Amino acid sequence: MTLGPFFPREFAQGANDLTALDGKPAKGEAIEISGRVTQLDGAALDNVVLEIWQAGADGRYDNPDFFGWGRAATGADGVFSFKTIKPGAFEGRAAHVNFLVLYSGLMRQLQTVMFFEETDDPVLSSIGKNKRHLLVAKKSGPRSYRFDIRLRGEGETPFFGD
């Protein structure tokens, strides 16, 4: 069911930095992932909750030094941001970050995936060729990536149903 518009602010904040665990810095390249969430008319959306799940720099999900889950919420400008470690490739999967989108007016949670380049990956390949670029983050600085999410309309982000 929908998250509704009143997800507690204290729950939405404080979990978007994955670069340290129990005070110890994680191994790997620290990066920032930010983006803007918009709806059909292009309007930016406030208080959208985004959760991520990713591998560590070594491509593993059971990494003892890195905990690959985080949560961020958009502000009034529709922008979210995570600090994390660039994930590694592993077991036939290209480097990627899983995204879950939760929001008022979204009757179900939406799943999507951010990639760092358009490359060979079984999940990326399940999207039509002409839309794959919509799942590839744009490099916006030496250590920062931009991943905008369009829920509906022009340039609509591909989402997965599982």
Partner 1 sequence: MNYAIEPRPAGTQSQGVEPGYAHTANRWPSQPLARRPHTASELSGPGGLARRLAPVRGDLAGYGKQRAIGQLILVRARVVDEDGTPVPGALVEAWHCNAAGKYIHPNDSNDAPADPNFYGAARVVAGDSGLVELRTIKPGAYPVPDSGGWWRPPHIHFSVWGRVWLSRLVTQMFFQDEPLNEHDAILNAIREPEARSRCIARLAPTAKGPFDALVYEYQLVVRGRKAAPGMP
Residues that bind partner 1 (CB under 8 A): 1-11, 15, 21-22, 39-41, 45-47, 51, 53, 55, 61-62, 67-71, 90-93, 96, 98, 100, 102-111, 122-123, 126-127, 151-153, 156-162
User: Rounded to the nearest whole angstrom, what is the least distance from the CB of residue 69 to partner 1 in the complex?
Assistant: 4
Residues sharing a CB contact under 8 Å with residue 158, sequence separation 6 or more, in sequence order? 112, 127, 131, 134, 135
CA distance 107 to 142: 37
CB nearer partner 1, residue 53 or residue 141: 53
User: Rounded to the nearest whole angstrom, what is the least distance from the CB of residue 36 to partner 1 in the complex?
Assistant: 14
CB nearer partner 1, residue 126 or residue 141: 126
Residues sharing a CB contact under 8 Å with residue 38, sequence separation 6 or more, in sequence order? 44, 45, 78, 148, 149, 150, 151, 153
User: Rounded to the nearest whole angstrom, what is the least distance from the CB of residue 144 to partner 1 in the complex?
Assistant: 22
User: Rounded to the nearest whole angstrom, what is the least distance from the CB of residue 142 to partner 1 in the complex?
Assistant: 26
Burial of 81: CB neighbours in 10 Å, binned 0-12, 13-18, 19+: middle
CB nearer partner 1, residue 41 or residue 142: 41
Burial of 103: CB neighbours in 10 Å, binned 0-12, 13-18, 19+: buried
Is there a contact between 62 and 69 (Cβ–Cβ < 8 Å)?
no
CB nearer partner 1, residue 117 or residue 156: 156
User: Rounded to the nearest whole angstrom, what is the least distance from the CB of residue 132 to partner 1 in the complex?
Assistant: 11
CB nearer partner 1, residue 22 or residue 142: 22
The amino acid at 80: F
